[in-house]
Structure 1
């Protein structure tokens, strides 16, 4: 059983990657195999709206790396998507990836029944995380995925996904930020819960 993480950040190994790695570490602790994919390592061309995928589960664009990503998603039992927030939305790289994943959806929902999860990050505490998270959740639901949450046994964090920030406080009109999302304890707890919940759901579905 495997959970794949897909990072749509334009900056590899930074805050969104750290959130995704926290999700994966918790999933690994539950006995699930994991892999992190950085979309910046792959060439992804824009969808040209040729609609070939309406008739065959394939894309007309053959000279980039999307076929590799299709196979990784097909082989995974669960997929967690991550993106920093750009104007209350996902990054352009993540949006191109989403658009190009139409071949997995139009003829048949090839991701149907797979476990999904999402993490987002913005510098500000109220920096558009909720909308970016809703966009990723809507994408997963459209693909027929079973969207997992970060809900835990105790109260305090109840989101359909994990939201991180570097915002710390605002005193006398001056905002203070931490250096890394790893200093955001709420976000890390949320990521850990998401990883645990995804792993448990993947294992339960695999046992059925």
Structure 2
């Protein structure tokens, strides 16, 4: 069982990567093989809207790293997307990645049946996390991926997605900041639950 996490942050190895690693570590503890892919390490050109993928599941751009990323997507049974919030949206790195997966979707959903999840984080407590999460969730749903959330069936109702924040509190007209996203206990617990839920669903689907 392979679970692939894709980090759309322009800051390699920082908060979004830490949250993704939390998901992967929990999945690995449940027996999964995991990999964290940093989009900053890959040269992925912009979609040219040539529409070659409307006729067959191929992209006309073959001289960049999307070929490698596409192979990793196809080989994985689980896919976790992570992006910080940029104006209530995903980053340009993540959006470009999404656009370039078009060849995996137009003639047939080549990623259909896989298990997916998404995480996001922002500086502010209400900094656009929910619409950013919905964008990634919808992207995976359009690919036919089974999207899981972070709710623990046996635990209290908190929130059905990972929406981290560096803003811890507000007292005496001052913002109290967390040092990093993993200082938020709820966010960390939600990431771990996603890892467990993904592994469990993959096992169920594999019968």
**How would you bin the TM-score normalised by the shorter chain?**
over 0.9
Q: Aligned partners of 1:123, 1:139: CA distance in 2, in Å?
A: 24
> What secondary structure sits across from 2:189 in the alignment?
helix
- Post-superposition CA distance 1:79-110 (Å, at most 9, x none): 00000000000000000000000000001100
Residue of structure 2 equivalent to 1:112: 112
Which structure 2 residues correspond to residues 45-124 of structure 1 after superposition, within 5 A?
A: 45-124=45-124
- 1:203 Cα deviation from its structure 2 partner: 1.3
Q: After superposition, what is the alpha-carbon deviation per residue over 1:187-207, rounded to whole angstroms, capped at 9, x for unaligned?
A: 00000001100011111112x
Query: Are 1:35 and 2:68 an aligned pair?
Result: no
How many residues are paired up?
206
Return the alpha-carbon distance in structure 1 between the equivalents of residues 114 and 178 of structure 2: 35
Once the 2 structures are TM-superposed, how far is the Cα of residue 184 of structure 1 from its aligned partner? 0.6
| 1:131-165 CA-partner distances (Å, limit 9, x unpaired) | 00000000010000000111101113231x31111
Provide the alpha-carbon RMSD of the alignment.
Answer: 0.8
The ranges of structure 1 where at least 4 consecutive aligned residues each deviate by more than 2 angstroms after the TM superposition are none
Q: Tell me the residue number matched to 1:140.
A: 140
TM-score (norm 1): 0.97
Any idea what SS the aligned residue of 1:101 has? helix
Cα displacement (A) at 1:56: 1.3
Deviations 1:38-65 (A, max 9, x none): 0000001111111000011111111110
Query: Could you tell me which residue of structure 1 aligns to residue 159 of structure 2?
Result: 158
Q: 1:56-80: per-residue Cα shift (whole Å, max 9, x none)?
A: 1111111110000000000000100
Q: Secondary structure at the match of 2:134?
A: helix
In the alignment, structure 2 segments of 5+ residues that lack a partner are none
